[in-house]
Amino acid sequence: MSNKAARNLFIFGSLFFFVIFLGLTFDTMKQIDGRAPEVTKEVDDGKQVWHKYDCIGCHTILGNGSYFAPDMTKVVEKKPAGYLKKFLMDPKSTNKNATMPKLGLSSKEADDMIAFLTWISKIDTNGWPPKPILAQAAGVGGAQQTRGQQVYQSQGCSNCHSINGIGGTSGPDLTKVGAAGKDAEWHMKHLKDPNSLVPGSAMPPYPSLSDSDLKELAAYLVSLK
């Protein structure tokens, strides 16, 4: 191949691929709006709060960003808005182990942020993040569960609490919660209305749990020693 032929190949080949890329970009732009809910004013305001505090400097969102803190794509599916709002405005008061700094979000900024994160969670991401396959595989052959354990799971307590290393870190570890001297009575009251026992608690209340479920759950918690 002569140098001139190599040069022409470089120039025209690159242009060729760039044109295809532009075509795909054009098509993608048309499709994107249909793959997520409409962007409301709150969502856009929330996005601006995201940029203002440089949340991407620690977190990823849609898997892109920094790897110092958890991904934000599906966080609203795991944590209720009431909890998130408290956390965003003052992380340490919500979770004493938190290392995220208190950035000074106002109440409105926190609401907008939650609207933004809710919008993000509804984007069609082609299935990302995938469900943890090993956890699912292990669940199939798992041991018989008590009613209390079942309630614990179905209510998503493990999104915030962990037992024997499994579960979230937003709330206190419950591995030995039964050894803390709190009886079933206390737990039932706490579950119904955490604020009545722990003022300012960021744990969501569970007022609609049936009495029997509440009893079983409390018994399970007391048994954790």
Partner 1 sequence: MTIKYQSQKIAQYFYTFAIILFAVQVLVGLVAAIQFLKPDIAILSFATIRTLHINALVVWLLAGLMGATYYVVPEESETELWNYPIALFQFWATVVAVTAVVVGYIVMGIFPQANISVLGTLVLNEGREYIEAPRWADVLIVVSVLLFLFNMFMTMLKTKKWTAIQGVLLTGLVFLALMYLPGMFYSKNMVKDQFWWWWVIHLWVEGSWEVIAGALLAFMLMKTIGAKREVLEKWMYIEVGLVLFTGILGTGHHYYFIGTPKYWWWVGGFFSSLEPVPLLLMVWDAFRTTREARNVTNKVGLFYTVAHAIFNFVGAGLWGVIHTLPQVNQWTHGTQITTAHGHLAFYGAYVLLIMAMIYVTLPSMRGVKEFKTSRAYQAFWWMTISMVFIVLTITGAGMVQVYMERLMGLDYVAVKANYNLWFWIIRAIFGVGFLVGTLIFVYDYFRLGKDQGLQKT
Residues 75-134 that bind partner 1 (CB under 8 A): 99, 101, 103-104, 116, 119-120, 123-134
**Which residues on neighbouring strands pair with residue 162, listed in sequence order?**
167
Q: Three-state DSSP class for 58?
A: coil
- Nearest to ligand HEC of 41, 51 (CB atom): 51
101 binds ligand HEC (CB under 6 A): yes
Q: Which does 31 bind (CB under 5 to 8 A by kind): ligand HEC, partner 1, ligand HEM, none?
A: partner 1
Chain-centroid distance, C-alpha 132: 15
Question: Do 91 and 100 meet the contact criterion of CB atoms below 8 Å apart?
Answer: yes
Question: Do 120 and 84 meet the contact criterion of CB atoms below 8 Å apart?
Answer: no
Contacts of 55 (CB under 8 A, 6+ apart): 61, 72
- Cα-based torsion angle of the residue sequence 123, 42, 28, 36 in order, rounded to the nearest 10 degrees: 30
Q: Which does 134 bind (CB under 5 to 8 A by kind): partner 1, ligand HEM, ligand HEC, none?
A: partner 1
User: Which residues inside 145-164 make contact with partner 1, applying CB under 8 A?
Assistant: 162
Contacts of 183 (CB under 8 A, 6+ apart): 222
155 binds ligand HEC (CB under 6 A): yes
User: Which residues inside 190-219 make contact with partner 1, applying CB under 8 A?
Assistant: none
Question: Do 115 and 42 meet the contact criterion of CB atoms below 8 Å apart?
Answer: yes
68 binds ligand HEM (CB under 6 A): yes
Name the minimum Å distance from CB 58 to ligand HEM.
8
Token pair in block for residue 24: 């795909």
Interface residues toward ligand HEC, by CB under 6 A: 53, 55, 57-59, 68-70, 75, 79-80, 83-84, 87-88, 91, 94-95, 98-101, 103, 113, 152, 155-157, 159-161, 170-172, 174, 177, 180, 187, 191, 194, 198, 201-204, 206, 217, 221
